Structure 1
């Protein structure tokens, strides 16, 4: 889809790497290709997942099911292993994924959003993901096809271009707010929320806007990811053990992942951190099944990526330690 070579080993896959507006646009078009070319009939997504991605694919002519799996449960894959079926697996947080060795007939698609550099390191048939979790870019997704496979009916849309521009403004305003250059976060949140709503709109079923492609090709992707892992490792070393939570990372991942003992502890910790201008994420809200709701209600993802200095990482870890000293 794009012939320019980037500075990154990740982009060295570009001969068979297709860049899209979002990760959900990437998996949508991959499934669409499989339906038309190979007759795919049914696709399974893990029960613990970003369900907005699944909803984006609902209009495709394929049966969609959930199979029970989340990263704190030792689930065995229960799937109808037949020709024409597809299983989407996830490299959760860059630290755990399902074992699919028992499947011999289903097509395996791996979501590597949380570990971009793992493309090609497993036996999956296809790979896709979002670029926004690990890189400082407002839009972007990708799909790695097999040799001689190609998408022929996807182009850049005006809505995708405009959403990219709006996300850039939102990211700039948020940066100014965090530097205390803006008194209020209302404006950046308005731009951010308006742009995020467009990710659910099929008008953004688009290739990656060319301006975003140019931006991506300037990013030192491996350096960013290496620095993020170093920061997470530092953060883990700074944390003092407590029975109130456990760390899911093993010096890896795209953020520090805490699994709290109760929902009340998670919510209280989250509020405390926000009060100190530390903004953790919940991955993912709006779960459907009870076990996954339990995980959603106890997990907290704390950013310690390449944007943070060692001093800032230590500050975040110290804040977590101080919170648990007083509970």
Structure 2
């Protein structure tokens, strides 16, 4: 067996099928991706309610915003990132829409002062929080917290429905390619492949298709069937427990601060400098621990500063307590020697 931590999910199958996330969510619509979900939600609002302007937080996955550019709606950024306590400066008028983000499952903008704007909350990093806030709508990607190749969702209001979205051939083919990548990664971790080159090639080719509007589709039916086998609540609960365990193992240091204490997404470190972040990241990769940076390619200076200091370390349900302790110990050992 090859021991690697982080990066993309390998294929996982479960017969438990006990998720309340799907069974107890009225008006939940499944899409190929999170960006397809928000695209179709905005499209619905434009045609049905006359939405004119939408605001996205400046610190965000900008590929999602670009996917929505062709819609007949003005798109703006409002200043906000999860380490800045920015007040929301927004034109609170009828016909305006504000997208808020539950960042890493730990922080989101306070929109209590907004009385007229429609609020849409992105719960990608905290799937089980859907419906818990006063937002008008919820959407997200499923593939950040769950081992599934494609998937997004949108929760509408009662009696609202999408009428013109279907499954596309490109969405189906991309799902199949992503599945091949996940199967190949499983083989790689079992030491049945000489290298990770093949599965990485399939992953990268599939990921490129997410930017293509030909994947503006409902969730492929095969993906829905796979999703229904996953014990979603169990996965996220285990991830929370692992992250809490990892945090308890970390020794205090002035080199970084932990941004999250209770979430089901990942361990989020905010490093003192970009140099510390980059050096720690390289050290972890050298030890087969592959952290993520959320999100690259920021536009505004404050957001670039955060992008350059943040590190997201996976301690999810894939890993045992012993493996989580190993990851935390590696972080500790790095700072012992600097």
C-alpha deviation, 1:6, in angstroms: 6.5
Q: How far apart, CA to CA, are the structure 2 residues paired with 1:105 and 1:228?
A: 37
Structure-2 residue corresponding to 1:16: 27
C-alpha deviation, 1:62, in angstroms: 0.1
Question: Quick check: 2:16–2:231 contact (8 Å CA) kept in 1?
Answer: no
Q: How far apart, CA to CA, are the structure 1 residues paired with 2:307 and 2:172?
A: 33
Deviations 1:249-295 (A, max 9, x none): 11224000000011111111111111111110000000000000000
Deviations 1:192-243 (A, max 9, x none): 1100000000000000000000000111000000000000000000000100
Superposition pairs for residues 98-177 of structure 1, below 5 Å? 98-177=109-188
C-alpha deviation, 1:180, in angstroms: 3.2
Give the count of matched residue pairs.
Answer: 327
Q: Flag the structure with more relative contact order, 1 or 2, with Cα contacts below 8 A and sequence separation at least 6.
A: 2
C-alpha deviation, 1:5, in angstroms: 13
Q: How far apart, CA to CA, are the structure 1 residues paired with 2:39 and 2:327?
A: 37
Q: How far apart, CA to CA, are the structure 2 residues paired with 1:266 and 1:233?
A: 21
Q: Any unmatched runs of 5+ in structure 2?
A: 1-11
| Change beyond 3 A, Cα 1:2–1:104 | farther
Q: How far apart, CA to CA, are the structure 1 residues paired with 2:204 and 2:113?
A: 42
Secondary structure at the counterpart of residue 289 of structure 2: coil
Q: Any unmatched runs of 5+ in structure 1?
A: none
Structure-2 residue corresponding to 1:264: 275
C-alpha deviation, 1:182, in angstroms: 2.0
TM-score, structure 2 as length reference: 0.94
Question: Quick check: 1:115–1:253 contact (8 Å CA) kept in 2?
Answer: yes
Structure 1 runs of 4+ aligned residues shifted over 6 Å read 1-6
Q: How far apart, CA to CA, are the structure 1 residues paired with 2:17 and 2:255?
A: 44
| Change beyond 3 A, Cα 1:2–1:241 | closer
Secondary structure at the counterpart of residue 32 of structure 1: helix
| Change beyond 3 A, Cα 1:20–1:201 | same
Question: Quick check: 2:13–2:230 contact (8 Å CA) kept in 1?
Answer: no
Question: Quick check: 1:266–1:297 contact (8 Å CA) kept in 2?
Answer: yes
RMSD: 2.6
TM-score, structure 1 as length reference: 0.97
C-alpha deviation, 1:2, in angstroms: 21
